Chains A and B, each alone.
Chain A
Amino acid sequence: MSATLPRTPRRIGAARRLEPYAYVAPTAALMIVLMLVPIAMVIGYSFLDNVILNKDPEVVGLDNYIEVITDPVFGTAIANTLVFVTASVAAHLLIGLAFAMMLNSRLLGPRVLAAFRGIFILPWLFTAAIVAVLWRMLLSPNGVVNYLLGALGFGDGTTEWLSDPGLALGSVTFINIWSGYPFFMISLLAGLQGIPADLYEAAKVDGAGPIQRFWNVTIPQLKPIIISMALLDFIWTSQQFALIWMTTGGGPIVATEMLSTYTYKLAFAKYEFALASTSAVLILLLSMVLAVLYVRHQRARD
């Protein structure tokens, strides 16, 4: 990987040593001003008395942290986020794997499968704001979902999917599952296509049926992809804001309050910028733990 050329004349050596810095300068400038500085700022805010609104904020130590951590809504937000993220990731994996395996079949022609692949990817191409309004229409009490369920004999056709406190969390999770599985599917499909055929042949010779081949060949071969995709999805889903904000806004009351909506409300509805910063720092710490796990896993794969 060494780029030093023995032929390089000495006098242009100094200029060459500076060259890479010129190339990375715009990136470095942007990352310092809009990444490192803001992170330092938010950490600073979290130790201050209410910032932004207060002209001369005092240092209050860990008071903000104690206040956020002991806030029961914060606890609810953590629990909701965990349910939302865990169920989403698990369903993304199961649906993504099932669809990828169907698309990887050799029983149908490649054109037919390519057409289905295009349809399966569709939900992922709509942005969260659009997914949110679409499902608000579909899940409206007078909406088509209630009509279809009623026609099939389930429910009385007046279910309040997004405003019933007992159903809202399940509903937003379902919406997120619908919009997010294709990313898993694409990666798993690539993974399936990369499994050498002779592994299956060898398993067949050993007398393994389709189910045994799935558990003993497919799953172990896909395992590295599954773990990295699950970690990535966990990180992304835990940061989901637009979908929740535009379907339930975290409600009814706190039924779908997530860490992201909780923090946003603290800042832009209650103007408690110091507490919001504290919550934001806690989310950052959580993400960093997940990121370290992800990087470790990637290193182990290499």
Chain B
Amino acid sequence: MTIQTSRRPGVSRGTRTNLARLALLLGLVAGATFAFAPVLWMLSSSFKPNTQIFEFPPRLVTEAFSFDAYARILTDPEKVRFFLNSYIVAGAVTLLTLLVAILAAYAFSRFEFPFKRPLNVVIVSVQAVPPITLLIPYFGLMVTLGLYNTYPGLILTYMVFTLPYAIIMMTGYFNTLPRELDEAVRVDGAGSWTALWRVLVPISVPGIVSVGVYTFMIAWNEYLFALTLTKTTDMRTVPIGIQLLMGQHSYEWNEMMAMSILGSIPVLVLFLFFQRFFIGGLASGAVKS
């Protein structure tokens, strides 16, 4: 926040810039309070004993500061299972979505074929189908297919929602890569399969990463289908697990907050590491798509 004094053209103008800077800083701090204060309180509450959650007057840090709530979650196999389930489902959804989307995007980007346009229209428009519309038939469908209360049931369901976006983003990414790259390999006698995996995929890593991160986040955060298509506690994911904590005899607020923090860590970490890809991809999607 160094203020450059060397090239100040006149005192009045400099003062005005400083005032503008101060106003901006105040605005930013106000915004940061709005965004961050609730998160800070979540963090603070996760370190309190449950009896101090609503103490009066509230304090950010109390003398009873401890990691007990975290320890209780991480030592309870039933709760650890929520995390395991979320990792399994979100991980599988991410890998499968990327695989299927890369194949489809390759066809959309490099081939002309009948049904290409209608298929494309379907993929774009299914993004607008409300999840609640599919919920009722899914319930019956998953029971019929024997996929109710199973990982594959959830994974396939999530892919319906992650795939369209992934295909659109990957097709856009492949379209920016010169056709000569893969055609050159193919002229040398290699098939399109080789051209895709040896040439296109390795240079598309940034696009693949941003689509992968986004897909993981969607799958990690999903609530409605996880609530409806699983039944037993050992199949529940983190968002449902947090709700289950709320349903028990008394509200363990400190454990709910600790679980919220633990449940947000994967998304926060992914976001921190891939921020640039992610914001770039998101923004370009919104600006261009």
A-side residues, CB < 8 A to B, are: 1-5, 7, 16-17, 19-21, 23-24, 26-28, 30-31, 34-39, 41-42, 45, 52, 98-99, 102, 105, 107-109, 112, 116, 118-123, 125-130, 133-138, 140, 142-144, 147, 178, 182-183, 186-187, 189-191, 194, 225, 228-229, 235, 238-239, 241-242, 245-246, 259-260, 263-264, 267-268, 273, 276-277, 280-281, 283-284, 287-288, 290-291, 294-295, 298
Contact = CB atoms under 8 A, between A and B. Distances in A.
21 contacts: A1-B112, A3-B110, A7-B187, A17-B113, A34-B157, A35-B160, A38-B141, A125-B267, A126-B39, A127-B264, A128-B221, A134-B42, A183-B282, A187-B283, A190-B284, A239-B131, A242-B223, A267-B139, A287-B133, A288-B125, A295-B124
B141 to A, nearest CB: 6
A26 B289 CA distance: 24
Contacts of A298: 289
Contacts of A26: 100, 103-104
B17 interface: yes
Given A23-B104, A123-B35, A31 B136 contact: no
B264 A133 contact: no
Contact of B257 (A134, A235, A284): A134
Nearest to B253: A137
Main secondary structure of the interface of A (DSSP, over half): helix
Contact of A239 (B112, B125, B132): B132
Given A107-B21, A235-B128, A31 B122 contact: yes
Contact of A287 (B130, B163, B260): B130
A189 B280 CA distance: 11
Nearest to B99: A26
B282 A186 contact: yes
B234 interface: no
A160 B113 CA distance: 60
Residue of B110, B133, B139, B284 with most chain A CB atoms under a 10 A cut-off: B133
Contacts of A263: 132, 135
A125 B137 contact: no
Contact of B119 (A24, A182, A291): A24
A281 B135 CA distance: 11
